[in-house]
Amino acid sequence: MAARKVLVIDDSATIHKVIDHTLKRLGYEVIFVRDGAAGIAKAKELKPDLVLLDFMMPGMNGYQVCKELGQSDEFEDIPIVLMSAKGEMIGEKLVKTMGIVDFITKPFSPDALSALTQHTIDKYNSEKPSESDKSEPLMKVGQRTPEDKPSEADLSDPNGQPAIRGNLGMIPAGEVFQLLKFQAHTGILHMARGEAHLEVFMREGTIAYARARNVDEEFLLGRFLIEVEAISSRDLEVFLESRRGSNKLLGEQLVKLGHLTPEQLATAIEKQTEAMIYEVLRWGEGEFAFYVSEKLPAEAREAGLSIPIDLILMEGFRRVDEWGLIEKEIHDFDRVLSPTRDNTGVMKHIELKPEEERILTLVDGRRTVKDIIRASRRSSFDVCMLLYRLLSSRIIRKRSSQDATGR
């Protein structure tokens, strides 16, 4: 009988050596590729008996490989085992949702790898499956098992058992959104970090709406109404004072009173939803849980949004990269900023953009970065990017402790 073929998709040379040494001694033919795209091509060429797949790789990740293989019936009977240094945090629910038959945590022992490989191939790749094997067919990649299908209680109650859950320190928010997009899920994604909580309502793999609690005031709806010029800052302050203590939704109340149109409200809600998700993409810690549910709340249905996740992630990751540059220069939001002394008069001739001029008026030697963000009624990202430019141009400076004490 020809040797069983094991396809290994992993970019680690060390993992390649461990697997090669372990499995070749047992008579398996081991084929290695270093990225997801090459792995898919090799799987189509060889039709392996088992795929050992790395969870996190450059380019295509484990989710994307599973999605691609799952689109072809010819891979229905090829088992995939996930390899990850974060295996314990992934959990069975996430594994089943991805269509993975099992997972193994790196670093693994040769004995553990041998046992898992032999068990999986014997169970799913025997030339003549036994009756017991036929009664328990392999789940197709991306397909739910009957026991994994949510009950009616789960569908109607988002506080029931989640379809997937995990730790954002182990599985980043971007990876979670990609999985939900690939599986075209409808339901509620709950993410929490400390006291901050965010709920993202998904409809068939797109974002329908988001709401949060215990987050910075820059994520409140009022700022976005001002940003889209639906209402002035002064008029909003007057209205908020008049409705103090009211539990009615701000946007809904403003529309009913004729202060803004439904279209203006929808635009502001879309910007608010996007901003919340951009922020959560930066979270390096926290928890997440996704609840499958066709019954989204009225707010999500009425918002009428269908934001593609790819667009959100593209802009979100751009912002994450730029935050990295910003935080090297502005790492303390309690730092006071001051205009630079222009003894030569050169800076008077520097041409600034209107938004830079507006932020510059708020830099007075007394306000902290946090104060400037609050006074600007703009996002912390936008304000910090402008402050970064002004600092880089040396138009403003960080006030020293000696300045603060008057020495």
Q: Which CATH number belongs to the domain containing residue 76 in this structure?
A: 3.40.50.2300
pLDDT at 347: 62
Distance CA 362, CA 373 (A): 9
401 inside domain: yes
Q: State whether residue 352 is helix, strand or coil.
A: coil
Q: State whether residue 86 is helix, strand or coil.
A: coil
Same domain? For 13 and 157 the reply is: no
Angle at 82 between CA 76 and CA 83, to 5 degrees: 155
Q: C-alpha distances in angstroms, 53 versus 103, 125, 189, 382?
A: 9, 17, 26, 39
Same domain? For 232 and 205 the reply is: yes
Alpha helix segments (H runs only) across 216-353: 221-227, 233-242, 250-256, 262-280, 298-303, 309-329
141 inside domain: no
Domain end position, chosen among 259, 291, 319: 319
CATH of residue 377: 1.10.10
325 inside domain: no
Same domain? For 302 and 391 the reply is: no
Q: Evaluate whether 370 touches 335 at the Cβ level (below 8 Å).
A: no
Distance CA 279, CA 289 (A): 17
CA dihedral of 4, 136, 182, 179, whole degrees rounded to 10 = -90
Angle at 274 between CA 322 and CA 372, to 5 degrees: 55
pLDDT at 136: 36
Query: What H or E segment, with its residue span, contains residue 157?
Result: none
Domain that holds residue 344: 330-405
Domain end position, chosen among 101, 134, 167: 134
Q: Evaluate whether 241 touches 235 at the Cβ level (below 8 Å).
A: no
Alpha helix segments (H runs only) across 296-394: 298-303, 309-329, 354-360, 369-376, 380-392
Domain end position, chosen among 110, 134, 158: 134
Distance CA 91, CA 256 (A): 47
Same domain? For 40 and 88 the reply is: yes
pLDDT at 138: 29
179 inside domain: yes
CA dihedral of 100, 101, 103, 109, whole degrees rounded to 10 = -140
Pairing of strands 396-398, 196-203: unpaired
144 inside domain: no
Same domain? For 57 and 107 the reply is: yes
pLDDT at 48: 92
In sequence order, which residues have a C-beta less than 8 Å from that of residue 329 and are 6 or more positions away? 388, 391, 392
Distance CA 252, CA 255 (A): 5
Same domain? For 201 and 349 the reply is: no
Same domain? For 174 and 120 the reply is: no
Query: What are φ and ψ of residue 278, in 5° steps?
Result: -55, -40
Per-residue pLDDT tens digits for 290-338: 988 888 888 888 888 999 988 888 888 888 888 888 888 898 899 999 9
pLDDT at 269: 92
Alpha helix segments (H runs only) across 99-195: 110-124, 131-134, 152-156, 173-182
Query: What H or E segment, with its residue span, contains residue 42?
Result: helix 36-46
Same domain? For 117 and 39 the reply is: yes
- Asked, as a colleague might, if the bond just before 107 is cis with ω within 30 of 0, I would say yes
166 inside domain: yes
Same domain? For 175 and 201 the reply is: yes
Distance CA 258, CA 253 (A): 9
Same domain? For 191 and 123 the reply is: no
Q: Evaluate whether 155 touches 295 at the Cβ level (below 8 Å).
A: yes
pTM comes to 0.59
Per-residue pLDDT tens digits for 40-58: 999 989 889 999 988 777 7
Distance CA 3, CA 1 (A): 6
239 inside domain: yes
The total number of structural domains that make up the chain: 3
Q: What DSSP character marks residue 284? A: -
275 inside domain: yes
Per-residue pLDDT tens digits for 71-119: 777 777 788 888 877 544 455 545 555 667 777 887 788 888 998 898 8
pLDDT < 50 regions, the chain: 87-89, 93, 127-160, 404-407
Same domain? For 227 and 177 the reply is: yes
Same domain? For 274 and 313 the reply is: yes
